[in-house]
Structure 1
Amino acid sequence: MRSLILLGLVGFAAQLVDGSLGMAYGVTSTTLLLAIGTNAAAASATVHLAEIGTTLASGVAHWRFNNIDWKVVAKIGIPGAIGAFAGATFLSSLSTESGAPIMSLILLTLGLYILIRFTAFGLPKGQLGKPMRKRFLAPLGLFAGFVDATGGGGWGPVGTPAILASGRMEPRKVIGSIDASEFLVAIAASLGFLVGIGSENIDFAWVGVLLLGGVIAAPIAAWLVRHVPPRILGSAVGGLIILTNVRTLLRSDWIAASSSVQTVVYVVLALVWVGSVVYSVGEHRKTKAAETELTPAA
């Protein structure tokens, strides 16, 4: 029962972050499942089955707040579904021993990207309002969908920053469109896992509590996307993902680090993490102060 309550809280927190930042539900949830010993394919399958419900709820919530560009959803979602199905069948063919560190390595890479991207650069601006082209969105969707299924998460970490970097859509539209299109990705990945590993390797009680926590958080997150500073949230989430997946890798047969080495690595990473969040808070305040100075008095 304690494990189910913890998973429900993780589902809630992960969706709260995902719905307000456009990423991290899958990465965060899968990281936890790996940390408690779930094999790689089953962990990703569990998360993606839960995401069918959470992404639907999130999409509806973002639609109600007018946070979605449906043309972008169609252009990126369909290729994303194709990539996700391919990624799910690929991961299903890996052994449990090799799958866990490989997935942790993917998640670690995504965590580093999130931390560096949001800490150092924040949210890009420029070219707002220009159309998003299919020749950019289709390959992006195909790649992001494959990474999402093989890494247990990655649709948001790959898709959201890439579209934000273009400067052609306002952040809330990017986040809403990515969340809505992830519904197609979640369905395709789930089908791929069911074909690859079957339903007997999936704990549907875990799916249910992750889903419940995510559905409760979805409307809150869609509202928060207008109020929570994405730069600060991105730094916080990126550091958490890095720390957790480094732990998995250090304990794996690939590295098998001693306890003293693990402790040193954890301390260094924790200091970097805290420093990144503090820096992001400072930069956010500078940006807000500069915007206030530029705003003419009423």
Structure 2
Amino acid sequence: MLALGLALAALIGLSLGLLGGGGSILTVPVFVYVLGYAAKPAIAMSLPVVGTTSLVGAVRHWREGNVNLRVALLFGVVAMLGSFTGARFAARVRGPLQLLLLGAVMLAAAASMLRRPRALRDAEAVDAVDGSAHVRPLVYAVGLGVGFLTGLVGIGGGFLIVPALVVLAHVPMKQAVGTSLVVIAMNSASGYAGYAGRVHVPWPLVAAFTAVAIVGIVIGTRLVRHIPALTLRRAFGVFLVLLGALVVWQNRGAFGG
């Protein structure tokens, strides 16, 4: 099972490199259903994996000029506040309910990948205005919400961050992918800080998982120019529908008892 878990770590990194998000949402299910950890440790373990992997991907995008650091810092600081709050709040939420919420978020992510909003398609068509465009106030609300979900259920939130950056912050699509990785790294660090000292983290396993995911994201950032993003989004969206439905079904009794 460890070998399967590490293979899936490579897939997580690959999708982060190719899509700027989405893959991190698989990390908790892998820790829970493949490696056998309980929900709360799995969520805490996922955060350093997702954060470190995203940071490596962000550096590669930055070298190619695909990171808007100003927007990343503005959006990321707000998201960090939400993430720390979500992690602290998670102590009051039972593990099965966290997994049920994660399953629902996975289905929402799948819907986002299978059918992008018209506003996002229009923004991509004109490739936005420029890399230092005005950040609308609504983007901060999105950052706070994404951050809270990161701390509560262990997602990176790239599937929400990328559209928010394109539509609300007017960041060009290519920059939005790299910028989202910076935000995810900040988000994950803050979320883990909220869990620190509350759950046990097996660091050797987390380090191995992270190393494999980093290999995946390095490959993904190199392939991003050569593989049709729309095809990838749809294929990954279908996979998320199946996995999200399974997670929801297995935790359907979370509201009882």
1:127 deviates by: 6.6
Unaligned runs of 5+ in 1: 256-298
Taking the aligned partners of 1:137 and 1:99, their CA distance within structure 2 comes to 25
- The match for 1:152 among 137, 146, 154 is 154
Q: Give, as a single letter, the amino acid of the residue that structure 1 aligns with 2:158.
A: G
Taking the aligned partners of 1:31 and 1:164, their CA distance within structure 2 comes to 29
Q: Deviations over 1:183-213 (max 9, x none)?
A: 2111101111114x33x2x332331222011
Q: Which residue number in structure 1 is paired with residue 88 of structure 2?
A: 89
Residues 1:60 and 1:165: Cα distance change in structure 2 (over 3 Å): same
Contact 1:35 1:248 in 2 (8 A): no
Q: Which residue number in structure 1 is paired with residue 173 of structure 2?
A: 171
Written as runs of structure 1 = structure 2, the 5 A alignment for 1:9-158 is 9-36=7-34, 37-117=36-116, 124-126=124-126, 128-130=128-130, 131-133=133-135, 135-158=137-160
1:108 deviates by: 2.3
Contact 1:35 1:244 in 2 (8 A): no
Taking the aligned partners of 2:226 and 2:138, their CA distance within structure 1 comes to 29
Q: Deviations over 1:21-55 (max 9, x none)?
A: 11113202223233345332222211101123212
Taking the aligned partners of 2:68 and 2:116, their CA distance within structure 1 comes to 24
Written as runs of structure 1 = structure 2, the 5 A alignment for 1:135-284 is 135-166=137-168, 168-195=170-197, 197-198=198-199, 200=200, 202-254=201-253
Q: Give, as a single letter, the amino acid of the residue that structure 2 aligns with 1:22.
A: G
Taking the aligned partners of 1:79 and 1:56, their CA distance within structure 2 comes to 18
Residues 1:181 and 1:252: Cα distance change in structure 2 (over 3 Å): closer
Q: TM-score scaled to structure 2, two decimals? A: 0.86
Contact 1:8 1:212 in 2 (8 A): no
Structure number with larger C-alpha Rg: 1
Q: Deviations over 1:123-163 (max 9, x none)?
A: 73237225141523322211111122223214201111222
1:252 deviates by: 3.1
Larger RCO: 1 or 2 (CA < 8 Å, sep 6+): 2
Q: Give, as a single letter, the amino acid of the residue that structure 2 aligns with 1:164.
A: V
State the number of aligned residues.
250
Contact 2:156 2:188 in 1 (8 A): no
Taking the aligned partners of 1:154 and 1:186, their CA distance within structure 2 comes to 7
Contact 1:31 1:245 in 2 (8 A): no
Q: Give, as a single letter, the amino acid of the residue that structure 2 aligns with 1:60.
A: V
Q: Which residue number in structure 1 is paired with residue 4 of structure 2?
A: 6
1:100 deviates by: 2.3
1:253 deviates by: 4.7
Taking the aligned partners of 2:205 and 2:117, their CA distance within structure 1 comes to 31
Taking the aligned partners of 1:186 and 1:7, their CA distance within structure 2 comes to 20
Other structure's SS at 2:194 match? helix
**After the TM superposition, which segments of 4 or more aligned residues of structure 1 sit over 3 Å from their partners?**
121-124
Contact 2:98 2:152 in 1 (8 A): no
Contact 1:23 1:155 in 2 (8 A): yes
1:16 deviates by: 1.1
